[in-house]
Structures are given as structure tokens and as C-alpha cells.
Amino acid sequence: MSDQQDAGSAWDALAGVRLPRGYRVEITAGKITMTPRGEGHREVVLGAAAQVEQQLAGHGTVLTGEVVDFPSPRYGYAPDLAVIAPGARQGARGRYRAADLRAVLEVVPRAQQDGDFVRKQRYLAECGVPLYVVVDPEEAACTVHSHPEPSGAYREAERVPFGNDVFLPLAERTLVLSTDGFAPDPG
């Protein structure tokens, strides 16, 4: 068991709390945020998850909306979609750790890319999450952030308009995500 799992989890604050369905719940800098999710969000996540799962073919795990333990009790995220490293095992709390993440994909419209979103992106880079993909239905584009730095920045960001393939270079292989089925939402 790692020190990360021993340190406690931001999710401990919500132990035993029944969270409403259809909302994303996150903890950023100790602040709990609930955001409603629409049908378009669900379709993008499930479509992307099916594509990724098929390409991994048992060489990794795909999670949708499941809690991941991060190394700080002030941050708790349940990514829309997470690709877990092959061979990673759930810890004592029944959750994977941030160190197990190979890629995170989230559907975040431009209107929701506020200060919490910026802190979250910085924190994912600090934790060394290799790929952070932001699907923005309002802009009808995906942005693939790669090459995380300990300073909390991703060195590279590639914007890919809907209708084009998104390439996700993992350590083991490169996955190709078709965005043809992602529906633009002008907000």
C-alpha cells in the first residue's frame, strides 16, 4: 500500500453521503462542487469509453465516473473517463490511485472552464497524468494535453475539431478516438 492511500482521501468527507444521480461531484482545493450532466455529455462519455475499451482489448481498464484517490485530501476527482494502467490494482478503499491513470477524458463546455477547472488541470499535471483530453461540445473540439510537468502544466496541447480522429499515445500503444459521433452543443 502506498503513502498516497494512507494519507486519507478527499472523498472521506463524503463517506456515507448519498450523491444525486446525473451530477458530477468533485473536490477542488477542499471545495465540493456538483455540476449537472446532460444527455449529450453521457453520449460522448459512453461512446468514447466503448472505443477505448475495444482498442485496449484487456490491456488496461476503462472507468467512467468512478472516484480515483489523489495524493491530497483537498482534491477528489471522478473523471468522466479514465484509462488505468495495465496491472494496476485497487487500493484498500476499493479505488485506483492517480498514479495508475494513463489518460483522463472529460466533457467540459467552455462556460464551465472556470478557476476550479484550471486548478484541476494543473493538479492532474502535477500528479503526472500523461494525457488529459478535454471535449468541449460548445467549441466542437477536443484538446489533448500531454507531457505533464511537476510545475503543474502540460507542455503540449493539440486542438482537434469534431469530425477528426484524436490520437492518444499511451505507454503501451496509441489509441484512436473517432469524434464523428460527438454532437456539437452551441450552449
User: Which pLDDT belongs to residue 8?
Assistant: 64
Residue 171: pLDDT band with limits 50, 70, 90: confident
Residue-wise pLDDT for 1-48, tens only, equals 333 444 566 666 656 667 666 666 666 666 666 665 555 678 889 999
Distance CA 141, CA 162 (A): 5
* Amino acid, single-letter form, for residue 88: A
In the three-class reduction of DSSP (H, G, I as helix; E, B as strand; rest coil), residue 56 is classed as helix
> 3-178 architecture in CATH?
Alpha-Beta Complex (3.90)
Q: Return the ∠ at Cα 133 (arms to 45 and 57), rounded to 5°.
A: 60
Nearest to 185 by CA among 148, 135, 144: 135
